[in-house]
Amino acid sequence: MNTLFDKIWDSHVVSLIEDGPTQLYIDRLYCHEVTSPQAFDGMRARGIKCLRPEKIFCMPDHNTPTHDQDKPIEDPVSKKQVDALERNAAEFGLTHFGMMNPKNGIIHVVGPERGLSLPGMTIVCGDSHTSTHGAMGAVAFGIGTSEVEMVLASQCILQQKPKSMRISVEGELGKGVTAKDVALYIMSKLTTSGATGYFVEYAGSAVRSLSMEGRLTLCNLSIEMGARGGFIAPDETTFEYIKGREYAPKGEDWDKAVEYWKTLRSGDDAVFDREVCYDAADITPMITYGTNPGMGMAIDGTIPADTAKKSLDYMGFQAGESLLGKSIDYVFLGACTNGRIEDFRAFASIAKGRRKADNVTAWLVPGSWMVKEQIEAEGLDKVLEEAGFAIRQPGCSACLAMNDDKIPAGKYSVSTSNRNFEGRQGPGARTLLCSPLVAAAAAVTGVITDPRTLMD
């Protein structure tokens, strides 16, 4: 029997090119300010309009500052890109959620929370972390600028069909172990190229036990192990999350949609090109020590002896040493990986009744205005303020050095984002990826700390 990936992919095939790619229909295109300008210029040069503008949603996120968003952007490059997206959306008749719009935020946070990303869809965006939307039971993947133009013009894309892979995590996750830890653990085993050429379906009892926020985090990081994308079969957790959201089906349409979504699963006899299985009991809170997301270890572990010297020199670490007790400079909570309400709840659970360490600069950045509203509605902002933290305005922030929130050279950043490449958070910045719990533990102690020692 076909896999779920086959079902969704095959149902969107428009035509097959002999010895070539598939022409695939796209249900949803998301456009942000970084990869879309040239695509719109190409459309303009050819004198064509968007085929299905109602399927396309635009919003700035990478270049937006996380403070004073009601004022003009100071950085000229960022301002140029954000302004261009607004003009292009208006010219081509596309929905645009600009800065200060209550629907604005990181595109990969807003899509699911607004009910724009739904099970069974094909979803693309000019951003590698489009795989995030796979948590909804969709086939979602990043595309290049020329491909963005292709979808703007035709609502289709030419793609080679990837191979299928199933990664199962069975058992019960332990104390302090989050979806971020599951992802970092898988990457530490598979490496950052271990899923190259595959589209991954996550399965197993530990995956099914994850909340939607956790599933979004897990799927977000699929690209970091080389996968074309990752997704999870929709279930009652998915349906409950979607129900009532702004763009979700309503009334009879909802009933029909759920009836169809329940068919979206791989059969018991489905054959995958590759299968991998992990035991949830083997996963602990994780942290990275190197310069790619696959260089991760247990928070109480030691840096492997075979770690590349170049990476260790950049990070200022040595093989065989523990990271526990290492002084840090910055903490970043946010990004399309961990900028959702559940992540702020986790951070606040550690911060409550404690104080931010004096040596730490902390940036707590919601993934959207909706998340910021939830933080305030639940009183988490008060808990965090009492602990010495401030909530910033939504945006990609310190995930990447494309806005004001840059980590200075040589400084250590404990970050809930998705990448720790050299210079990712700023030229010379040293990034340690982790979960919101690990980030919070570092923020209140000033050093790398096992969060389980601070949990009730």
CATH number of the domain encompassing residue 289: 3.30.499.10
Average pLDDT over residues 55-67: 97
Indicate the pLDDT class of residue 1, thresholds 50, 70 and 90.
Answer: low
DSSP strand E in 225-352: where?
A: 229-232, 274-279, 286-288, 296-298, 330-333
Residues 380, 431: one domain? yes
Q: Is the dihedral of CA 226, 227, 228, 229 positive or negative?
A: negative
Q: How many CB atoms lie within 10 A of CB 397?
A: 31
Q: Are residues 298 and 446 in the same domain?
A: yes
Mean pLDDT for 438-443 is 98
What is the CATH classification number for the domain harbouring 248? 3.40.1060.10
Contact 229, 200 (CB under 8 A): yes
For the record, the structure tokens of 166 come out as 């199933």
Q: CA 425, 186, 142, 25: dihedral to nearest 10 degrees? A: -160
Q: Are residues 262 and 216 in the same domain?
A: yes
Q: Where are the beta strands (DSSP E) in 234-337?
A: 274-279, 286-288, 296-298, 330-333
Mean residue pLDDT of the chain comes to 97
- CA dist 290 and 296 (Å) reads 7
Residue entry with tokens 């596309």 = 94
DSSP 21-68: -EEEE-SEEEE-TTTSHHHHHHHHHHT---S-GGGEEE---SS--SS-
Residue 346: CB atoms within 10 Å: 24
Report, as an integer, the average pLDDT of 63-77: 96
Tens of pLDDT, residues 288-338:
999 999 999 999 999 999 999 999 999 999 999 999 999 999 999 999 999
* Same-domain check for residues 300 and 387: yes
C-alpha 84/C-alpha 38 separation (Å) is 10
* 291 and 385 within one domain: yes
DSSP annotation string for 395-438: S-GGGSSSSS--PPTT-EEEE-SS---TTTTSTT-EEEE--HHH
Tally of domains within the chain: 3
Give the tokens for residue 150: 């292709």
Sorted by sequence, the CB contacts under 8 Å of residue 18 that are 6+ apart come out as none
Question: pLDDT digit string (tens) for 350-408?
Answer: 999 999 999 999 999 999 999 999 999 999 999 999 999 999 999 999 999 999 999 99
Phi, psi of 307 (to 5 degrees): -65, 140
Q: Pick from 123, 141, 159: which residue ends a domain?
A: 159
User: Rounded mean pLDDT of 108-122?
Assistant: 98
Radius of gyration of the chain from its Cα atoms, rounded to whole angstroms:
21
Q: Quick one: what percent of the chain has pLDDT higher than 70? A: 100
> Is 126 in the same domain as 238?
no
Q: Please, what is the Cα angle at 34 between 31 and 35, to 5 degrees? A: 65
Range of the domain at 138: 4-159
Q: Single out the residue in 229, 253, 281 at which a domain terminates.
A: 281
Strands 163-170 and 198-203: parallel
Grouping H, G, I as helix, E, B as strand and the rest as coil, residue 105 is strand
pLDDT of 456 higher than 90: no
The average pLDDT across 30-46 equals: 96
Is pLDDT at 211 greater than 70 in this prediction? yes
* Structural domain ending residue among the three candidates 281, 316, 337: 281
Q: pLDDT, tens digit, for every residue of 119-178?
A: 999 999 999 999 999 999 999 999 999 999 999 999 999 999 999 999 999 999 999 999
Are 298 and 379 in the same domain? yes
168, 153: one domain = no
DSSP lists the bridge partners of residue 433 as 415
Other C-beta atoms closer than 10 Å to the C-beta of 40 total 24
- The more confidently predicted of residues 90 and 20 is 90
The residue written with tokens 């997206």 in the block is 85
Query: Residue 59 has which token pair?
Result: 């919003």
H helix runs in 191-250, sequence order: 205-208, 212-220, 236-242
Tell me: do 330 and 392 sit in the same domain.
yes
**Is there a single domain that holds both residue 292 and residue 416?**
yes
Q: Where are the alpha helices (DSSP H) in 222-275?
A: 236-242, 251-261
Q: In terms of domains, do 127 and 198 share one?
A: no
Residue 201 has pLDDT above 80, yes or no: yes
In the prediction, which pLDDT does 177 show? 98
Residue 189 has pLDDT above 70, yes or no: yes
9 shares a domain with 155:
yes
**How far, in Å, CA of 112 to CA of 126, rounded?**
17
